[in-house]
Structure 1
Amino acid sequence: MALDIEAAKRAAAIEAVRNHFPDSPRFVGIGSGTTIVYVVQAIQELGRDLSRVGFVPTGYQSKQLILNAGLLPIEFDALPDNVMIDIAFDGADEVDEELNCIKGGGACLYQEKLVAMRAKEFVCVADHRKLQSRLLTKWPTIPIEVEPKASRQVMARLRVLGSRSPTGAGPFIREGALSKTGPVKTDQDFFIIDAPFPQPLLTGQDIAEGKVRNSHEGIWEVEELARTIKDINGVLGVGIFCGPTGPEAQVAGVIGGQRPIACYFGMADGSVQVRKAPVKRHSIVAQYPRIEPAI
């Protein structure tokens, strides 16, 4: 019998927390989205003393979730200098075979990336609909957080990069549920642009196997596209989480892993499928060329 989506999310959350919640964490990152409700419940069900644990939210919604659970919220900018978050749990809109993620459907992508990149380990929790072989397979757009005054300029640049759908429509500013509510505003008071691209994004392995990217036609490799969009003036954050994992970044001597070490997917049959991040040696060398990773 097929499991309903909410039960699938809960099953994945329970398994992820059981396998990754540290014995005595100091700080725990809590992401955004419907799946994270079950993560917080699973943490409470561990029966641990959580009174000394600071929970770092990725936005207003996750802070309210932490408060409603009777846990202690710690704002990101209140973290002590040079202290890492022990573990971060978050969801995703789509995940590929290398555990690159698209995030930002809930408009919290910038703060989600801040927390992920401050964590020793980032664990993704999702249901089976989010598991795809390549990004932009089912999820149609890349969320991008932009300064409002730069939004038209950013959209023009995205079109040059190939952000066009088969109907000819290009990137668009996300609006609220009611047309008169206007553009969605993030916690930073920025706009969200949703940028469609016509092809699933290539992975690093695709490039290693000789597949050819063509930026003029919108065919991009994941990390290259993320860097190119981030370089556009006016862009605060890009909803592609890729590159090194937290442990890989630490091996390279830097803080800055944003790819999850593992993803837990609640499946339709009631099982939980675990995908662990493959080592992306080419990614680490490209990002930190002067440091030879010991992997």
Structure 2
Amino acid sequence: MLPAARCTGARQLSHFATTSPRCHMIAAVGGPGASASLNKVVRGTHPALLVTSSSAIPAEEQAKLVETSKRLAAYQAVKDHLLSSYTRIGIGSGSTVVYVVEAIAALGPAATADMIFYPTGAQSEDLIEAAGLRLQYINKLPAAEQLDVAFDGADEVDADLNLIKGGGACLWQEKLVATAAKRFVCVADFRKLSARLGTSWKKGIPIEVLPMAAPRVLAELKAMGSHNPRIRPGLPGKAGAIVTDNGMWIIDAPFTPLLLPRDAEEGGIKAGNGDNGVWQVDALADKLIKIPGVAEIGLFYGNNGLEIASGAQKPVAAYFGMADGSVEVKTPIASA
């Protein structure tokens, strides 16, 4: 029997108080035509949350630094985006979301009594239940209604807030929940922030496919310039491909770092259309989703919730816990 995919992440929750941070606004990066994002740096003052940065620290300390960075980002994102009037909240998958649920649970039962939480998979379902929060499923959300906000992590985030998601094999549900929300907020640590997708996340774009279509999808990906796309294997010691909650397989398809629209404009009319395996984010995403047998792709792209009323894949804000103990917030602004 093929191993079923289960989104990874610890279930243990702990609670602690945080002090009110100070916010410092810094200039938007780049010049005309540069990233349409504004950086906000939030610095906490609670000793337990401060991170010491060092390029030569032991692996164990590095792991602690990363986890503290995730917690910093999660607490700040919840503070900024979980309003007391909200009643429907999406909860994503992955290791950073553990701290999102922790931050929500730390508000106490009175604050969350009227809130209902919608998971993206088995892991987030477990987290919601373990925290004593009210659970509901996205298929129970009335078609005419939206979630007030959804929190989720990412494997990589570029300068325009395009995302790669699906490292935990929950990308289809993650996209369903994100696009059902009025506001989608991304929470991550400093390792996930890149200028272009595919720069630091080398495993490839996760693509959820029908098992019977996998060979043809692999062939199409290679023809499009993907470098050694492969079916994601199951758990160690079990033969076969990983199987998602939807009964699908995952193909991880590495590509040359993906261009942004301004890169394509500078390179000419054909830049980013797949010549020599070089793609612009939106062009690649539009091509991938049309491959027969592809159910969903791990590129979150296009518009965000500030630009359209519903169905947005990109976040309205991305929170990054940094190695120096700060939280960097990237939000879309009008292009220069």
* TM-score of the pair, normalised by structure 1: 0.88
Give the structure 2 partner of residue 130 of structure 1.
192
Q: Which amino acid aligns with 1:258?
A: Q
Give the structure 2 partner of residue 100 of structure 1.
162
Aligned length: 271
Q: Displaced runs of 4+ in structure 1, greater than 6 A?
A: none
Report the Cα offset of residue 44 of structure 1: 1.8
Q: Which amino acid aligns with 2:313?
A: Q
Matched, 1:56 2:98: no
Q: Which has the higher contact order (CA 8 A, sep 6+)?
A: 2
- Structure 2 residue aligned with 1:246, among 289, 295, 305? 305
Give the structure 1 partner of residue 236 of structure 2.
178
Matching of residues 27-46 of structure 1 within 5 Å:
27-46=88-107
Q: Which amino acid aligns with 1:58?
A: T
Please say which structure displays the higher CA radius of gyration: 2
* Runs of at least 5 residues in structure 2 that lack an aligned partner in the other structure: 1-51, 54-63
Q: Is the 8 A contact 1:134 1:200 kept in 2?
A: yes
Three-state SS of the structure 2 residue aligned to 1:150 is helix
Matching of residues 209-220 of structure 1 within 5 Å:
209-210=266-267, 212-220=271-279
Matching of residues 219-230 of structure 1 within 5 Å:
219-230=278-289
145-154 vs 178-187, greater mean Cα deviation: 178-187
Q: What are the Cα deviations for residues 220-269 of structure 1, in whole angstroms up to 9, with x where unaligned?
A: 0001101100000110110000100023121xxxx310100111000011
- Structure 1 residue aligned with 2:214, among 139, 143, 151? 151
270-279 vs 109-118, greater mean Cα deviation: 270-279
Task: Check 1:280–1:153 CA distance in 2 against 1; reply closer, same or farther (3 A cut).
Answer: farther
Q: Which amino acid aligns with 1:174?
A: R
Three-state SS of the structure 2 residue aligned to 1:273 is strand
Report the Cα offset of residue 218 of structure 1: 1.3
Give the structure 1 partner of residue 319 of structure 2.
264
Give the structure 1 partner of residue 34 of structure 2.
none
Q: What are the Cα deviations for residues 114-172 of structure 1, in whole angstroms up to 9, with x where unaligned?
A: 001010000000000000000000111000000101011111111111112xxxxx211
Task: Check 1:214–1:118 CA distance in 2 against 1; reply closer, same or farther (3 A cut).
Answer: closer
Q: Which amino acid aligns with 1:235?
A: V
Among the aligned pairs, what percent are the same residue? 51
Q: What are the Cα deviations for residues 59-96 of structure 1, in whole angstroms up to 9, with x where unaligned?
A: 11110110111111111100122100000000000000
Q: Is the 8 A contact 2:235 2:242 kept in 1?
A: no
Structure-1 separation of matches of 2:292 and 2:244: 18
Matched, 1:205 2:266: no
Structure-2 separation of matches of 1:279 and 1:232: 33
Report the Cα offset of residue 207 of structure 1: 2.1
Three-state SS of the structure 1 residue aligned to 2:302 is coil
Give the structure 1 partner of residue 25 of structure 2.
none
Q: Is the 8 A contact 1:86 1:119 kept in 2?
A: yes
Report the Cα offset of residue 279 of structure 1: 4.7
Structure-2 separation of matches of 1:243 and 1:279: 15
Structure-1 separation of matches of 2:290 and 2:145: 28
Structure-2 separation of matches of 1:213 and 1:102: 18
Three-state SS of the structure 2 residue aligned to 1:125 is strand
Structure-2 separation of matches of 1:98 and 1:73: 33
* TM-score of the pair, normalised by structure 2: 0.78
Give the structure 2 partner of residue 7 of structure 1.
68
Task: Check 1:186–1:151 CA distance in 2 against 1; reply closer, same or farther (3 A cut).
Answer: same
Q: Is the 8 A contact 1:117 1:256 kept in 2?
A: yes
RMSD: 1.6
Q: Which amino acid aligns with 2:295?
A: L
Give the structure 2 partner of residue 287 of structure 1.
none
